[in-house]
Structure 1
Amino acid sequence: MRGRHETPEERADRRWGELIQEIRVAQTGVQILFGFLLTVVFTARFPELTVADRTIYIVTVSLGAAATGALIGPVSFHRLVAGRRIKPQAVAWASRLTFIGLVLLLATLASALLLILRVATDDDYVPWLVGALVAWYLLCWYLLPLWVRHRYTNSSRGSGDRSRGSGPDPDSGNTRGGGGGGARD
């Protein structure tokens, strides 16, 4: 039988390390975007924005703040529960926060693109362009990974080849492909 031979504690440690590496990438992006958004209100052109553009700006800043909170949340979460012998549960909750943070980051990017492109040009194609970019994010961030997960965890049941997805999932203790949400790796 192939797979990892690790205790639940070792698995939680590994998954925590992997999750923190993933969060570092998303945190950097959302913090730079959020910082940029905070400076926009102080620019000379801000008073010239239409009511609609100011509303989009407020929504964008709010989404950015929420995404920042969700993506930094796992660090605080870990600090508050460290040493309590509940790392597997902490990893699961931190993973959920990260997933929520990524959804909020997607919404922030869409809103920021809408605002920037509306200010840059008032052409009617802007919502269509933003929609196309959101579709691209959805494809890259969710649809392709879910398709790969489905293809390689459900296509070879019973073949005995763990690399193709049969057998128990070493990270969850469950059978691969048996449901689960976006919070599991």
Structure 2
Amino acid sequence: MSLPPEPHEGEQARLTRNLAELLQELRVAQAGVQILFAFLLSLPFTAAFAGTTGFQRATYLVTFVSSGAAVVCLVAPVAYHRLLFRRMHRPELVRAAHRFALAGLALLAASITGAAVLVGDVVLGGVGAAVLGLGSAASFVVLWVALPLRARASTIPVPD
């Protein structure tokens, strides 16, 4: 949770703090999505991949593309910052980084859900894939969306 602004904190100091907090949060997500992407990148080159069904290949492809897009979105704030460094565009940078982070997290949730469906289908079959996929998606909706929005609605808004 973002701390309230200090009484003496100016607009630039607040933006600097917001950007630092966001970049710190992204470090956690970046590591996970990069590991998932690397794993998915190697999967088609294994002997077992030749025996996958059409559904499994389609699920793999959607999962691979969404994890790649998540990497792009979660690393984009770093590139954005580098290109705007010392150009007095901090408000735009914070807004863009926030949007990239939300998009990246949504794509990461889709990637992990897709991976759960793929593993479920290979190990348990169609019903197992559905159960794991729905359980994964529900977990993301509850933990990453519903609970934070509930907490947000029950507290006094703090300007960020």
Q: Which has the higher contact order (CA 8 A, sep 6+)?
A: 2
Counterpart secondary structure, 1:134? helix
**Deviation, structure 1 residue 86:** 1.2
Count of paired positions:
156
Name the structure 1 match of 2:46: 43
Length-normalised TM-score, structure 2: 0.92
What are the superposed Cα offsets for residues 80-107 of structure 1, whole Å, 9 maximum, x if unpaired? 1111111122111111100000001111
Which position in structure 2 is the counterpart of 1:54?
57
- The 5 A counterparts of 1:1-185 are 3-5=5-7, 6-153=9-156, 165=157, 169-171=158-160
Higher-Rg structure is: 1
TM-score, reference length from structure 1: 0.80
* Greater Cα offset, 121-130 or 86-95: 121-130
Task: Show structure 1 runs of 5+ residues with no match.
Answer: 154-164, 172-185
Farther off after superposition, 15-24 or 134-143: 134-143
RMSD: 1.4
- Kindly indicate which of the two structures has a greater share of residues assigned to helix: 2
Unaligned runs of 5+ in 2: none
Kindly report structure 1 stretches of 4+ aligned residues shifted beyond 4 Å.
none
Residues 104, 37 of structure 1: alpha-carbon distance in 2 compared, 3 angstrom cutoff: same
Asked whether the 8 Å contact 1:8–1:88 carries over to 2, the reply is no
Share of identical aligned residues, percent? 38
Partner Cα distance (1:41, 1:125) in 2:
22
